[in-house]
Amino acid sequence: MKRAWFASIAVAAIALLAGVASRIDGVRPFLAFVVPYGALAILLAGLSWRVIRWSRAPVPFRIATVCGQQKSLPWIKAGWLESPSSTLGVVARMGLEVLLFRSLFRNTRARIDSGPRLIYGEAKWLWLGALAFHWSLLIVLLRHLRLVVQPVPKLSLLLERVDGFFQVGLPVLYATDIVLLAGLLYLLRRRLRDPQVRFISLFTDYFALFLLLGVALSGVWMRYFARVDVVAVKQLALSLTVFSPSLPKNLSAWFFVHLALVSTLAACLPFSKLMHMGGIFLSPTRNLANNNRMKRHVNPWNYPVKLHTYEEWEDEFRDKMKAAGLPVEKD
Ligand code: HEM
């Protein structure tokens, strides 16, 4: 519980610091230019470093941790999706994993019942909560393109229309804002309420969740309550994208809080567990076809070894083998 408190205090401190500092004229350029540029630089360098390091790790053979039948004899039915032997099968397996979290869908829960008896049961809430959170986050980010791209991409406009189909009040209420917050609160509640999950949770686990919650809450606050000047935000965002930063006057403190939290999230991402976003694509148990029986995979680390074949061995000991009455291949 202490770790959760520390993480929430750390996020609150970043938000407070940004909010207070944004009131000081001399510090605003730092918050508006240096912080986002710095975070972006750390994000790009960190992402490249992680991906390059992963891709350089040798994978000498196929690691087939699968629960499907491997392709072998024609009369044995192979699991083309569970244990794919072709690239197409791997793409399908990866696609379902990334888009629908297929392996999490099969998540089970173990508990000891009276008896004592070990019982496994369904555990679909984690899958649903995670899926709701990730999909809403993606849609929110794609909708944000209207703030940084001119002309606004059609996809962004379409998502805005679909997302706001409830047409509740003004500004229009986005369904993804509710789902994003609900998903994050569920993930946080699970981490705090489940004793086993709480036991293995580290500061960084809570920090990522509180940071995301802080970003989402400050965004929601800006849109529905504080009503920030979106034109001024877009002016700043566009100036940053063309590397000619200019600071509009009427940016509210809430925007600086949002930006500081987003920047912290971006800078921490490559060094945190949030890197699972990139790691999934480089995971050998997911991205390799299970074709061990169809193709010979030679370990690239193999160094030349001086072999002593059975024939040579028998040539050497044939007389002694015969004398001892042992069978030989060649007389
Ligand atoms: C991880 C990245 C980010 C996340 C998760 C995020 C999340 C959110 C959320 C949930 C909202 C509520 C309204 C909505 O859904 O559109 C919001 C609003 C907003 N965000 Fe972000 N945001 C992010 C990055 C940014 C960045 C980089 C900027 C600066 C250009 C920004 C500027 C804004 C503004 C101005 C609003 C208010 C929009 C309005 O009034 O319609 N956000 N954000």
Determine if the peptide bond prior to 300 is cis (ω within 30°): no
- What rounded mean pLDDT belongs to the chain? 92
Kindly give the distance from the C-alpha atom of residue 222 to the centroid of ligand 1, in angstroms, as a whole number.
8
Give the C-alpha separation, 148 to 240, whole Å: 9
What whole-number distance in Å separates Cα of residue 28 and Cα of residue 232?
Answer: 14
Picking from 157, 182, 184, the residue whose alpha carbon sits closest to that of residue 172 is: 157
Cβ of 228 less than 6 Å from ligand 1: yes
pLDDT in tens, 167-196: 767 788 999 999 999 999 999 999 999 898
The number of C-alpha atoms within 13 Å of 141 and in the hemisphere containing its C-beta is 8
**60 to each of 84, 281, 299, 300, how far by Cα in Å?**
18, 18, 5, 6
Q: Is the beta carbon of 230 within 6 A of some atom in ligand 1?
A: yes
Q: Please give the structure tokens belonging to residue 168.
A: 């509740």
Confidence band for 150, pLDDT divided at 50, 70 and 90: confident
Q: Which of 223, 234, 250 to mutate to test the pocket of ligand 1 (most atoms within 8 A of CB)?
A: 223
CA-atom Rg of the chain in angstroms: 28
Beta bridge partner(s), residue 111: 119
Tell me what pLDDT residue 331 has: 79
Range with lowest mean pLDDT among 22-36, 83-97, 163-177? 163-177
Mean pLDDT of 126-138: 95
State the DSSP string of 150-161. SSPPHHHHHHHH
Beta bridge partners of 113: 117
Q: How far is CA 207 from the centre of its chain?
A: 15
In what helix (H) or strand (E) does residue 298 lie, and over which residues does it extend?
Answer: none
Q: Are the CB atoms for 207 and 268 separated by under 8 Å?
A: yes
* Tens-place pLDDT, residues 65-87: 778 898 989 999 998 888 999 99
Cβ-based burial of 31 (10 A; exposed 0-12, middle 13-18, buried ≥19): buried
Q: Is the CB of 216 under 6 A from ligand 1?
A: yes
Supply the pLDDT for residue 125.
92
**pLDDT tens sequence across 271-302:** 999 999 988 998 888 899 998 888 888 877 88
- Which 3 state secondary structure label does DSSP give 201? coil
Which burial class, exposed, middle or buried, applies to 175 when counting CB atoms under 10 A from its CB (0-12, 13-18, 19+)?
middle
Q: Which DSSP state fits 178?
A: H
The rounded distance, in Å, linking the Cα atoms of 46 and 53 is: 11
Q: How far is the CA of 242 from the centre of ligand 1 (A)?
A: 20
Q: Whose CA is nearest to atom 19 of ligand 1?
A: 219
Q: Is pLDDT larger for residue 116 or for residue 253?
A: 253
CA 243 to ligand 1 centroid distance, Å? 21
What does the pLDDT read at residue 76? 93
What does the pLDDT read at residue 63?
A: 77
